[in-house]
Amino acid sequence: MRRSAVLLLAVAAGCAPPPRTESRPAPRLVPAPTLAGELRRDLFAFADDSMLGRSAETPNGARAARFIAAQLKAAGIAPAGDSGGYLQRVPLSRTFVRSARFEVTSTGTRTSLPVGSHLIPVPSLGEGLPLPVLEAAGDLVFAGYGLSAPGFGRNDLAGLSLADKVVVFVNDAPPGLDSARRASLHDPRSLGDRLGAIMERRPAAIIVLFTGRQAGELPALAAGLSDSSLRLQPTLDGPRELPMVIFGTAKDAGPLLPAGWPQNNRTRVLEGKSFSAKVDLVQDVVPAFNVVAVIPGSDSALAHTYVAFGAHLDHIGIQPAVHGDSIANGADDDGSGTVSLIEIAKRAQKAPRTRRSLLFVWHTGEELGLFGSEWFTSHPTVVLDSIVAQLNADMIGRNDPDSLYLIGPRSAPNGQSRVLGEIVDSVNSASPRPFLINRDWDAPSHPEQLYYRSDHYNYAKHGIPIVFFTTGLHADYHKVTDSPDKIDYDKLARVATLIMDIGTSLANSPTRPLPPSLQR
């Protein structure tokens, strides 16, 4: 409508008679849009139903990234993503077990074991670890409960030759242990310890058999591994150095257990028995994108360092319908942070340059597991150590107009964010209408665990001072009712202004916001 109105005015002006000579009133000045008005305009577009909830693993996440990039380009802000553009590709993938074959050979007879809820391969043991091999064979060795740590009255690995063997153990506690030690063996960390101790012996494969409640959870695990959740790529292309790992249920694993088990749980070689396995995986790669931009600093000595501003561009997509609405707009989570960073960048672009450079990163995949910030901090487009602080804005547009939560100054390790927290307090106190700072959530032991739940966490892991700004949770959190009409735009503008003022202060400071013991 605006373009059509302008055209009509131009035509009307062209057809108008020549101006009369008498004096005319001065033209009325149209006030510039307020920050609150610009944030409202941006957020109603960014959190519109047409974005379909901006889920990172869908084309709607990429659309959200392109929306931000277009805003930055129109404002003349320099890109800092991949290959000179605004976008940084974040390679997400799902790995599926397409097929698997398990066979036990005993005295020349081969028995195929069913693949599925009772015996399933584990395609990856965790991000950053080498991958298990996809084909394995060897003689079967029963390693009891896999115990080798002191304090349990037995060493199941003593005297066993495990190299190139297929090792079977039961993930349970042997009879006779007290309740405390039995409980410790059901802790997932105990399973990791036992797997690690066996892997050091270089077996060909490890088969873990579960009992009781854990055995009942295997069908769900099997479904998860056959329709795996998203994770950062690569999962198929990494080094395959670990033994094959297979989970199963003890009650369905007769050929893999010695005669007389569980009464006879002595460790032993299963004479005359061998096991072979082959697993076929397929990977579904899902492209997702961070958006990265930079405003260069003015100081020749400091311009190669950065104050980083962060928000996440993704949300949770399509949800079960509530009163006919199935689109989770994510206006507060984290449309509020996203549009605030856009407007901060636009204003910083027009303002006098700060001494340090300003880095803006809109992360994808936060809702899926902080994937975008994990990827950026492990594949930064600037030198990671050159980032002097990271200011994270996530859900900053709701609740009490004068209340603001800070997380990080007390939670981050080694006191690395303490000085940054003092700077935040100083800038806030000097503002015309200071916020009441709530620090209740600024503890890593707080039940809500918010320190670990947004993108600042991945920066803090690298020793970067961080502050997480949020106005708190509310009844619309992760619901289809988190809509842009519920945002307090005056408050959102005040939070954005505070974040910009803090960033400006940091960017003009000659020193990093670190305690003296951590200065470098």
**DSSP code per residue over 172-197:** S--TT--HHHHHHHTSHHHHHHHHHH
- Summarised one tens digit per residue, pLDDT across range 224-243 is 665 566 777 655 667 889 99
Residue 73 token pair: 């380009």
From residue 44, give the alpha-carbon distance in Å to each of 40, 163, 270, 336, 489: 6, 62, 67, 10, 11
Instruction: Find tokens 């101006």 and name the residue.
Output: 19
Secondary structure (3-state) at 33: coil
For 190-211, b/e burial (b = at least 16 CB within 10 A) is bbebbbebbbebebbbbbbbbe
Do 145 and 265 contact (CB within 8 A), yes or no? Answer: yes
Q: List the one residue out of 165, 169, 179, 263 whose CA is nearest residue 211.
A: 169
Secondary structure (3-state) at 334: helix
Domain chopping of the chain, boundaries: 35-93+285-518, 95-283
Residue 83 token pair: 């290959």
CA distance 489 to 397: 7
Do 391 and 308 contact (CB within 8 A), yes or no? Answer: yes
CA 421 to chain centre: 24
From residue 379, give the alpha-carbon distance in Å to each of 57, 206, 291: 20, 33, 13
- Decide if domain 35-93+285-518 falls under CATH 3.40.630.10: yes
Contacts of 202 (CB under 8 A, 6+ apart): 162, 163, 164, 243
- pLDDT of 4 reads 26
CA 15 to chain centre: 59
Q: Which helix (H) or strand (E) holds 10?
A: helix 2-15
Instruction: Find tokens 């910030």 and name the residue.
Output: 373
Helices (H), 129-280: 179-185, 188-199, 212-216, 218-226
From residue 468, give the alpha-carbon distance in Å to each of 105, 219, 330, 373, 433: 58, 39, 18, 14, 20
Secondary structure (3-state) at 2: helix
The pTM assigned to this predicted structure is 0.75
Contacts of 312 (CB under 8 A, 6+ apart): 334, 337, 338, 362, 363, 364, 365, 366, 367, 372, 373, 394, 454, 455
Residues of the chain with pLDDT under 70: 1-32, 117, 127-128, 221-229, 233-237
Pick the CATH number of 95-283 from 2.10.50.10, 1.10.760.10, 3.50.30.30, 3.30.830.10: 3.50.30.30
CA distance 438 to 29: 41
- Single-letter amino acid, residue 398: R
CA distance 143 to 141: 6
What is the β-pairing status of strands 325-327 and 318-322?
Answer: antiparallel
CA distance 399 to 119: 50
- pLDDT of 30 reads 45
Secondary structure (3-state) at 124: coil
CA distance 351 to 362: 21
CA distance 187 to 149: 14
- pLDDT of 253 reads 86
CA distance 337 to 361: 11
